Chain A
Amino acid sequence: MADLSTMIAGLKAISPKEELKKAVSAGKKVIGIMPYFCPEELVYASGMVPLGLWGADMQANESKRYYPAFICSILHTVLEMGIKGKLNDLSGIMIPASCDSLKSMGANWQYGVKTVPVINVSIAQNRKIPAGKEYTASQFKKVRDELSKISGKEITDEAIIDAIKVYNENRKALREFSFLAGKHPEAISPADRNAVIKAGYFMDRKEHTKAVLAISAELASLPESSFRGAKVVTSGILADSPSLLKIFEDLHIAVVDDQIAHESLNFRTDVPIIESDPIMGMAERIAEIEGCSVLFDPGKKRGQELVKLAQDAGADGIIWIMTKFCDPEEYDYVPVKRMIDKAGIPLLAVEVDRQMVNYEQARNAIEAFSETLC
Chain B
Amino acid sequence: MPDTVEKKSAKVKLRELQDKIAQDAWDAKNRGEKVGWCASNFPQEITTTMGIAVVYPENMGAAVGAKGGGQRMCEYAEGMGYSGDLCSYSRINFAYADLKKCEELEIPFPDFLLCCNNICNCMMKWYENLAIELDIPLLMIDIPHLTKEKCDPERIKYIRAQFDDCIRQLEEITGKKMDYDKLNEVMAVSQRSSKAWLRAVSYMSATPSPFSGFDIFNNMAVACVGRGTPEAAEAFEALADEYEELVKEGKSTFKGEEKYRVLFEGIACWSNLKFTYKALQSRGVNVTASIYGPAFSFLYGSMDELMAAYAYVPNSNCFEKEVSLRVIDARKNKVDGAVFHMNRSCKNWSGKLYEMERQFKEQTGVPTIVFDGDQSDPRAFSEAQYDTRVEALVEIMEQNKKEGK
Question: Which residues from chain A sit less than 8 Å from chain B, CB to CB?
Answer: 65-68, 70-71, 97-101, 103-108, 110-112, 120, 122-126, 129-132, 134-135, 138-139, 293-294, 296-300, 325, 327-328, 330-335, 337
> Smallest Cβ distance from B327 to chain A, in angstroms?
15
Contacts of B144 in A (CB 8 A): 97, 122-125, 135, 139
Cα(A124)–Cα(B141), bound, Å:
10
Q: Which residues on the B side are within 8 Å of A130 (C-beta)?
A: 161
Are the CB atoms of B117 and A327 closer together than 8 Å?
A: no
**Contact indicator A126/B142 (Cβ below 8 Å):** yes
Name A335's closest neighbour in chain B (CB-CB). Answer: B132
The answer to whether B147 and A106 have CB atoms under 8 Å apart is yes
Q: Are the CB atoms of B354 and A65 closer together than 8 Å?
A: yes
Contacts of B120 in A (CB 8 A): 100
- Decide: B140 and A298 in contact? CB cutoff 8 A: yes
**B interface residues, tally (CB under 8 Å):** 51
Residues on B lying within 8 angstroms of A by beta carbon are: 80-83, 85-87, 90, 94, 117, 120-122, 124-126, 128-129, 131-133, 138, 140-142, 144-145, 147, 154-155, 157-158, 161-162, 165, 315, 318-320, 342, 344, 346-348, 350-355, 359
| A71 closest partner in B (C-beta) | B351
Q: Is the CB of B121 within 8 A of A135?
A: no
- Across the interface, which residues of A come within 8 angstroms of B122, CB to CB? 100, 327, 331
Q: List 15 A-B contacts (CB under 8 A).
A: A103-B352, A104-B351, A111-B359, A126-B140, A129-B162, A135-B144, A138-B154, A139-B154, A296-B128, A297-B128, A300-B129, A325-B85, A325-B347, A330-B86, A331-B90
Known: A97-B147, A100-B121, A129-B161. A68 touches B86 (CB 8 A): no
Determine the chain A residues whose CB is within 8 A of the CB of B125 once the complex forms: 293, 327-328, 331-332
A330 surroundings in chain B (CB, below 8 A): 82-83, 85-86
- What is the CA–CA distance of A293 and B126 in the complex, to the nearest angstrom? 12
Contact (Cβ within 8 A) B128 A135: no
**Contact between A129 and B154, CB atoms less than 8 A apart:** no
Which residues of chain A have C-beta atoms less than 8 A from B346's C-beta? 100
Determine the residue in chain A with the shortest Cβ distance to B141.
Answer: A126
Given contacts A104-B348, A129-B165, contact A122 B82 (CB under 8 A): no
Bound Cα distance A11, B369 (Å): 49
Q: How far is the CB of A38 from chain B (nearest CB, A)?
A: 14
Is A107 within 8 A of B162, CB to CB?
no
Most buried by B among A68, A138, A337: A68
Q: A103's contact among B82, B87, B162, B351, by CB below 8 Å, is which?
A: B351
Of the residues B129, B154, B347, contact of A135 by C-beta under 8 Å: B154
Nearest B-chain residue to A121, judged by Cβ = B147
Do B158 and A103 touch across chains, with their CB atoms under 8 A apart? no
Beta-carbon contact of A125 and B124 below 8 Å: yes
Q: How far is the CA of A122 from the CA of B344 in the complex (A)?
A: 26
Report the minimal beta-carbon distance from A200 to chain B, rounded to whole angstroms. Answer: 27
- Do the beta carbons of B131 and A108 come within 8 Å of each other? no
* 4 shortest interchain CB distances as A-B pairs: A131-B161, A104-B351, A107-B319, A331-B125
Within 8 Å by CB of A100, from B82, B351, B354, lies B351
Contact A132 B348 (CB under 8 A): no
| Distance of A90 Cα from B136 Cα, bound (Å) | 47
> When the two chains form their complex, are residues B158 and A132 in contact, meaning their CB atoms are under 8 A apart?
yes
- B368: min CB distance to chain A, Å: 15
Do A298 and B131 touch across chains, with their CB atoms under 8 A apart? yes
Please name 7 further chain A to chain B contacts, defined as beta carbons within 8 Å, in addition to the given A124-B142, A333-B83, A334-B94, sorted by A numbering. Answer: A97-B147, A99-B347, A110-B319, A111-B355, A125-B121, A129-B165, A131-B165
Chain B residues contacting A68 (CB-CB under 8 Å) are: 342, 350-351, 353-354
The answer on a CB contact under 8 Å between A107 and B86 is no
* In contact, A296 and B147 (Cβ under 8 angstroms): no
Q: Is the CB of B162 within 8 A of A126?
A: yes
Smallest beta-carbon distance A82→chain B, Å: 14
Contacts of B318 in A (CB 8 A): 107
Contacts of B83 in A (CB 8 A): 327, 330, 333
Q: Let me know if A298 and B128 touch, CB within 8 A.
A: yes
Bound together, the chains give a CA A70 to CA B83 distance in angstroms of 12
**CB pair B81 A132 closer than 8 Å:** no
